[in-house]
Amino acid sequence: MPQFKAPTRDLKFVLHDVLKVSDLYQTLPDFQEATPDIIDAVLDQAAKFCEDVLAPLNESGDKEGCTWTEQGVKTPAGFADAYAQYVEGGWPSLAAEVRYGGQGMPNVLGLCMSELTGTANWAWSMYPGLSHGAIKTLEEHGSDAQKDQYLTRLVSGEWTGTMCLTEPHCGTDLGLLRTKAVLNADGSYSLHGTKIFISAGEHDMAENIVHIVIARIEGAPAGTKGISLFVVPKILVNSDGSLADKNAVHCASIESKMGIKASATCVLNFDGAKGYLIGPENRGLNCMFTFMNAARIGTAVQGLCHAELAYQGAFAYARERLAMRSLTGPKNPEGPADPILVHPDVRRMLLTQRAIAEGSRAFIYFLAMQGDILRSGDAEAAKNADNLMALLTPIAKAFITELGFEAANHGVQVLGGHGYIREWGMEQIVRDARIAMLYEGTTGVQAMDLIGRKVLGSGGKLLTDFTAHIDQFCSQSHPESVADYVRQVAHYKDEWLGLSFAIGEKAMTDPDEAGAAAVDYLMYSGYVVLAYFWAQMASVAAAALADPSRSADYDFLNAKLMTAEFYFKRLLPRAQGHRLAIEGGALPLMQMPEALFAVA
């Protein structure tokens, strides 16, 4: 298993040099305590916890997995103790609201912790990770009584949370759900139904689990218009906050999975379980989007985590493994062969991993920063931030997980036969990474959301809101060494707008044109967005290199510039392949009759 080293140097570069988060937080009353010194101290302590406590459990947790019994689910050895240390350290409350026991730090800093825990041990990180969405949902949509009853314990980490959507017969199409809610005399509801694929739905790490559940109240309209949202605790809670009797929620089984084996993925039966309505009747899906969007950004982090860990493992191997000689002459003349790091194809894979990880990091933290701006109190700034998040969330979730999986595969390839062997840990990263393209909406679902609801559905406004940021960046003064990158970003931005218009025009006469273009459009968009962030990082790095006070950062900044050059010359051109596929239209996909699919 790769020995995880927290990438705190790059995190600090993105936060302080590129995004300048502290400048923003000094203008936001809620976050003025988030000074550079505080941010750095939090990152350093988080790195220590993740490197020393979580990373050593990654491989052993994968081997042991979770165990189901009638009494409950047992997590792998060390997981519950690690969670107790996590709670004792105050990590669950880092970015939660002060009034419910949180530390009131920015969303960005909470996401940094998610990245570090996720890279160290993704399966473990899912247990506290699901709680964040439950907390946000209750904060935004819960009643005062619900907030008082559940939020303090969720924020402290004493309790954990889940999201219960999927059922055996329906996944993405939630309008087909069958779980029903029956009104009780006391105003609560009895929930009846089965939910599947519930991450952290049952475990031994916390004394209670708060399930956020969608169901249909008796007599509600069919489809998505009749969905309501409920809070359903594993153990019922008395009015004074103490625990009462076990609720009628039962874990029937846990899934036997390809990866993330140490994460309990549960089948939950609600057998008349007592639940409480969150928000208005039949508006549950609207409320649930708070949880779903948080989970989608969290899943994008997974793509980043696996790219980072795969890079660290592949690089460590490539610098030590000897095989053949460099094409330009021996680089290790005293040894029998050269390290494989000298070979162009190995460098291609390593630089691809690195460009994916570092570019995704800037993208994700920009997105997280918009979540902090939403709480600024400035209506115009908040609206702009909300529009940016609406457009960029499906791109981040789908594009970064697709590239994260690619990076994980490169990790296996760099190690060759050893990459296929379990003891090296690289194949675990591939298995763990594969799920990210599926849950919280597949790549295809995110692509349809992007082109359908976000771009065409807004008449292009959400897209032009973001491209205005690109225009502003391109119009600024930049070091001459990165001028070509800025020109490329401007060119691709114009092409992106033209491509969007062309798809919309075709879709007006044939809606299948939007569906046929969707995934290629999302991938094209992703490469352009990453180019924007790589151009920013290159501009900042080039300017810093000219500053004598940054001489200690010389190697780091040079590496950043060289990785940027690799991105623009070797990865960004992929966007043109996606453009050509889009221009191929819907006909090649849709012309074959159903019967001919069966012809051998």
Tokens matching residue 177: 């759900």
Pair 428, 436: CB distance under 8 Å: no
Active site residue 440: yes
Strands 208-217 and 180-183: parallel
CB 581 within 8 A of CB 516: no
> How many CA atoms lie less than 13 Å away from 593 in the CB half-sphere?
3
Query: How far, in Å, CA of 196 to CA of 105, rounded?
Result: 34
**Whose CA is closest to 161, among 108, 199, 194, 192?**
199
Count Cα neighbours of 384 within 13 Å in the Cβ-side half-sphere.
Answer: 14
User: In which residue are the tokens 């209506």 written?
Assistant: 379
Strand partners, 159: 208
Cβ contacts of residue 259 below 8 Å, gap of 6+?
Answer: 62, 428, 430, 431, 432, 433, 434, 435
Contacts of 178 (CB under 8 A, 6+ apart): 167, 169, 170, 193, 216
- Token pair, residue 324, equals 């053949």
Q: Point out the catalytic residue in the list 59, 139, 402, 440.
A: 440
Element (H, E) at 568: none
Per-residue HEC secondary structure of 293-312 comes to HHHHHHHHHHHHHHHHHHHH
What are the φ and ψ backbone dihedral angles of 278, each rounded to 5 degrees? -105, 120
- Compute φ and ψ for 274, nearest 5 degrees: -80, 130
Q: For 229, list phi and psi in degrees, rounded to 5.
A: -120, 140
Reported for 248-257, long-range contacts at CB under 8 A and 24+ positions apart, including other chains, are 248/272, 248/273, 248/274, 249/211, 249/273, 251/68, 251/72, 251/73, 251/201, 251/202, 252/194, 253/68, 254/66, 254/68, 254/73, 254/202, 255/196, 255/197, 257/435
The CB-side HSE value for 568 (13 A sphere, CA atoms) comes to 24
What's the distance, CA 530 to chain centroid?
15
Q: CA 212, CA 230: separation in Å to the nearest integer?
A: 6
DSSP structure string for 261-288: TTS-EEEEEEEEEEEEEESSTT-HHHHH
Strands 67-69 and 72-74: antiparallel
**Intra-chain end-to-end CA distance of the chain, in Å:** 43
- The CB-based long-range contact list for 183-189 (8 Å cut-off, 24+ gap) reads 183/217, 183/218, 184/274, 188/274, 188/275, 188/276, 189/215, 189/217, 189/230, 189/274, 189/275, 189/276, 189/277
- List residues with catalytic annotation: 440
